[in-house]
Homo-oligomer: A and B are copies of this chain.
């Protein structure tokens, strides 16, 4: 092989990361192949040497996005007990910071409504990510109540998502604060 052994793999990774960001920022249908390739300094034609089609890229990008936030949370909560980990998670997820940066946030808060309309490979990637996150939360909860974990995640994503629709910043912040409190109550962290 003439390019370095790792060159193609590196390019693929870069494309994937750009896509993971772009998909969250503009949605699966709002983003174009050419745009993502340009982001990496390439042109659109080379794309098909890395992915069979756009749908495969989007699916991989969603896996990547979930993977990124998953690793981040593992890192930040490593060594904590369940109670502390849950509290940390809420304080990182249900925030203005998350609301204001969908492109590096949780795919659920950013893509929930449009994902059911995507093709099967994309939906599958999304569900994998959702289930992994539910699993993580479940392990942190007393008695490992999976149903509760899912419902808590719904509340967190719903709060971030709805706060993005509220133009009055103070009201949006208040919504997030109310949600954090409700979540910690449900988790048994506060009374």
B-contacting residues of A (Cβ < 8 Å)?
26-27, 29-30, 102, 108-117, 123, 126-127, 130, 147-148, 150-151, 153-159, 161-167, 171, 174-175, 177-179, 182, 186
Known contacts A127-B165, A157-B161, A175-B147: A29-B29 contact under CB 8 Å:
yes
In the complex, the answer to whether A182 meets B155 with C-beta atoms within 8 Å is: yes
In the complex, the answer to whether B110 meets A113 with C-beta atoms within 8 Å is: yes
Q: Which of B102, B123, B153, B182 contacts A162 (CB 8 A)?
A: B153
Count of this chain's copies in the oligomeric assembly: 2
In the complex, the answer to whether B164 meets A116 with C-beta atoms within 8 Å is: yes
In the complex, the answer to whether B167 meets A162 with C-beta atoms within 8 Å is: no
Closest-CB distance, A162 to chain B (whole angstroms): 4
Tell me which residues across on chain B come within 8 A of A29, comparing CB atoms.
27, 29-30
In the complex, the answer to whether A162 meets B157 with C-beta atoms within 8 Å is: yes
